[in-house]
Amino acid sequence: MTYDADVILSLEHVGVGYPTRKLFSREKFWALDDVSLTLSRGETLGVLGRNGAGKSTLLKLLSGILVPDRGVLYRKEKITISLLALQLGFMPQLSGRENAMMSCILLGLSRSEASQRLDRIFSFAEIEHAMDKPVSTYSAGMRARLGFGVAMEADPDVLLVDEVLGVGDAHFRKKSSAMLKQRMGAGRSVVVVSHELATLRQLCDRVVVLDKGRTTLSGNVSEILAVYQAETENLRA
């Protein structure tokens, strides 16, 4: 199968099943049943779904933690994809510097690449003064900022974002959404997963609706929002 040169990730009728916890049973629970979507370079894709629709499983599939049990997943060569996980592998007893190194290496950087980026990470997070203090002495906001700084500097081709970024205070929130927008401008792709229309409307070019493990709708934001809202209202009526 051939793909548009711009497509960096695509799923066709993909299913992911979890083993049921019964001994000797081959039965599966299909968290993702039939999912199809494509993601192009520089695009911001929104995934809209209620609780239990399969959003987290989809993110794990896209980030390579899980692989499809059926269907086809295409990932362009040498594409790095990672989940925006704040405080990835942090150990509170270690210093901010050591934890940032650890997170960067977990995100696929080498030791020397990681150490070169430390200064930028800490200046972005605005905690240069606390670089060598143990993370256990950081406030929750400082930790989150450090985690966000690491994720930005690790700079994957596709960043996967779960829900709203409630990172730090208003000033830092502004700075981080500006950073996300700037990434999008620089040809990096983003997948945002949310159960809220409002979040996706602000950020995304295109939206896919996920319902009970199936992608039911896909298209540009305004179309989808109109259909989705109508459906939700029908449900209520």
Binding interface with other proteins (CB under 8 A): 18-19, 60, 63-67, 82-83, 85, 88-89, 91, 93-94, 98, 101-102, 105-111, 134
CB of 154 vs other proteins, minimal distance in Å: 10
Which of 52, 89 has the CB closer to other proteins? 89
In angstroms, what is the minimal distance from the CB of 210 to other proteins? 19
Considering the complex, state which of residue 7 and residue 102 has its C-beta at the smaller distance from other proteins. 102
**Nearest approach, Cβ of 134 to other proteins (angstroms)?**
7
CA distances from 99 to 50, 117, 121, 192 (A): 34, 13, 12, 26
| Choice between 96 and 206, CB closer to other proteins | 96
- Residue whose CB is less far from other proteins, 85 or 227: 85
**In whole angstroms, how close is the CB of 200 to other proteins at the nearest point?**
23
Shortest Å distance, C-beta 5 to other proteins: 26
Pick 21 or 171: Cβ nearer other proteins: 21
CA angle (14, 18, 24) in 5-degree steps:
130
- Name residue, tokens 């990835």: 88
Min dist. Cβ of residue 125 to other proteins (A): 19
Nearer to other proteins, 131 or 197 (CB): 131
